[in-house]
Structures are given as C-alpha cells and as structure tokens.
Amino acid sequence: MLSPAAKKRLFSLLASGLRFAGGLFYDRRYLVGVYFDDSFTGWKWVVRGILFQKVLRFNRNVPWPVSPLNTISWGRNITFHPDDINMFNEMTGKYFQNFAARITIGKGTWIASNVGIITANHDPNDLTRHLPGAEVVIGESCWIGMNAVILPGVRLGPHTVVGAGSIVTHSFPEGHCVIAGNPARLIRRLEPGQAGAGVAPK
C-alpha cells in the first residue's frame, strides 16, 4: 500500500513524462496548474485534443487542448491563466472570435455554454469584409452567463456578472456589478464582500 507521499511522488513522475509527451503537440506553458499538476483531467484533454486537433484538425492551430465543440479563431491571440483551461474543454459550444484583436480573460472567470466573444463585426456596407478589430478584456472572477455575446472593444472589470442571453455592447470597466439585457445595462452593484461568497462550481 503506497503512502500519500509516495502516491504524490509517483503522480509527479507520471506528470513529468506526460508533460514531455504532451509538449510534442502543445505548448508546455499551458500544461500546468490544477488540471495537470494535481489531476489526470488535463491529460485526458490532451489525449482527446491530439485526436480532434492534430488528427481531425479541429482548432488545429491552438497551442493547448480544446474541445472540438468550441471554436477559437487564433490561439496565439488570447490570454488566460492555465488554471482556467477548463473553460476551453467543456463540451458547450463557445465561440472566441479573435482573428482581428486580442481577447484577455482574467483569472477565475467562468464562461457558460454558447457564449460568443467577438472582436470584429462584419462591415454592414460590405458583408464580405470585417470592420477593424477591437480588443475584448474580461477581468478576474467574472461570470458570463449562457448564450451571452460580448462585442468588440468591451472591457469588463473584475467580478462582473453577465446575465444569460445578454448582448454586451459597451464597457463596464469598474466591475463589481450585475449586467443583463439587450443591450446589457447595469442591474445592480456588487459589494466587494459579496463577490465570491457563494459555493465554487465543480
């Protein structure tokens, strides 16, 4: 019977080998954090990603594991913390359109099913072209509800909650608020002590 310390050492050795093997397909900087250092979950995503990204060519240029049901225009044009790599591996149909400008997602942010984050709209005078892109920045510990759409140039401050189905057309850089609607508007302010007071999702 292995002791907890021995199990931890064994897992560390296995993770080192898996990180080397995974690094043949992905950027090793993403193969770290809670889903890789303390769990086999991330390595399951690596195996699935090799099939769908490297063999079947879904999201083939993204340098970390991604669910085949999510779409990322350009993997090198999005910034996030490795501990939040789970948002790209849920089988939930998220759309990150970032070929024209960067998307930045703060640590601890949760993004629900079918959310679209857009950095460039079509030109209404010529639908074959896009307007110039504008960066989208989402602060730390935000929650983007199901079917919400965030449009080019939007900046959301920390602890912003976006209601399901909302269309966010302008920024709420101060954060600590709940927004909802089409177009999204301020519903209420959140006191700093309220943010993060609930039960963390599993």
* Catalytic positions, written as ranges: 122
Dig out the tokens for 168 from the structure.
């966010």
Alpha carbon 145 to chain centroid, angstroms:
13
Q: 46: part of which helix (H) or strand (E)?
A: helix 41-49
Query: Half-sphere exposure of 102 toward its Cβ, with a 13 Å CA cutoff?
Result: 10
- The contacts of residue 164 (CB under 8 Å, 6+ apart) are 112, 145, 146, 147, 148, 180
Question: Scanning the structure block, which residue is given the tokens 């002791």?
Answer: 3
CA-CA distance, 55 to 14, in Å (whole number)? Answer: 24
Neighbours of 188 (CB within 10 A): 10
